Amino acid sequence: SSISLRSALETTPVAYGFWLTLPSAPVAKTILRRSPEFSEGGFSWVLVDAEHGLINDSHYYELTNAVGHEGASPIIRVPWPEEWMIKRALDAGAHGVMTPMCHSAEDAAKVVSYCKYPPVGVRGYGPMFTPHSFPGVKPAEYDEKTHNEVMVIVQIESRPGVENVEEIAKVEGLDVLFIGPFDLAKQMRVTRGGEEHETAIQRVLNAARSAGKKAAIFCSDGDDALRRIQQGFDMVSITTDVAVFGDGMLNELEKAKGS
């Protein structure tokens, strides 16, 4: 597949990714250049966060091209599961989209429909710049093949999302159920890491597996990611760009002070 994330999920034990909150192609490329190819254990995807980060749709084209040409899949998290937002992300070259707050199978089916051209879905056609972020893919190939392979990812991060997760997981064309643990705890009004929270997370993992879908989760750091991989998650984001900058600089400051 010309979608690195799809290939990684099919051919490697875990699809590793990281969160990009800064609208910076140089930041994304610096990280990707330092890490191995995904087939050698490096990153197969980058979450381009347009829900909570500083990124908006005028940044999409540059970011999808930067990430795509470094051999990883740019996955855009759109601000909300709206048809027009998903269309703009895919048109700008996203190899997949992630949508916040999926509460039901109906929600998930809408997202799938927004990602696929007719007759499968309702995605509008505006492919002028879309293939640019897929190395080697010609416009006709994008239309005929690649577009059907873009990753459709919904976030499970609410009580109804968890209660309906078995139905959500069965939705055809959906690839990944992605847990947002922070929102899940807040929306459920439970403690993050507490028993109810972990039971909900396990339920999402089980539902994905039973339906033959992939299960993914946002992790705060590498230790957190390892624990989730050991639980059976197929796809993890290991941390964020800004967390690494902040922690890394503080560590060096502490060293400089001899502490």
- For binding to ligand 3PY (CB under 6 A), which residues are involved? 155, 157, 180-183, 218
Q: How far is the CB of 256 from ligand 3PY (least distance, A)?
A: 31
Q: How far is the CB of 175 from ligand 3PY (least distance, A)?
A: 17
Q: How far is the CB of 128 from ligand 3PY (least distance, A)?
A: 31
* Residue 28 or 102 having the CB closest to ligand 3PY: 102
Q: Please give the residue whose beta carbon sits closest to ligand 3PY in the complex.
A: 180
Handedness of CA 179, 145, 6, 171 (dihedral sign): positive
* Residue 4 or 155 having the CB closest to ligand 3PY: 155
Token pair of 103 as six digits = 């509460």
DSSP type of residue 38 = G
* Residue 65 or 155 having the CB closest to ligand 3PY: 155
Q: How far is the CB of 176 from ligand 3PY (least distance, A)?
A: 13
- Can you tell me which residue has the tokens 């997370």? 201
* Residue 93 or 180 having the CB closest to ligand 3PY: 180
Alpha helices in 139-240 (DSSP H): 139-141, 147-149, 159-163, 165-169, 181-188, 195-210, 222-231
Token pair of 200 as six digits = 């909900």
* Residue 183 or 234 having the CB closest to ligand 3PY: 183
* Residue 91 or 183 having the CB closest to ligand 3PY: 183
DSSP type of residue 188 = H
Token pair of 135 as six digits = 């190395």
Q: How far is the CB of 23 from ligand 3PY (least distance, A)?
A: 17
The residues pairing with 176 across neighbouring beta strands, listed in sequence order, are: 153, 214
Q: How far is the CB of 80 from ligand 3PY (least distance, A)?
A: 13
Of 218, 223, 246, the closest CA to residue 47 belongs to 218
Token pair of 104 as six digits = 């039901």
Alpha helices in 4-138 (DSSP H): 4-11, 25-34, 60-68, 83-91, 105-115
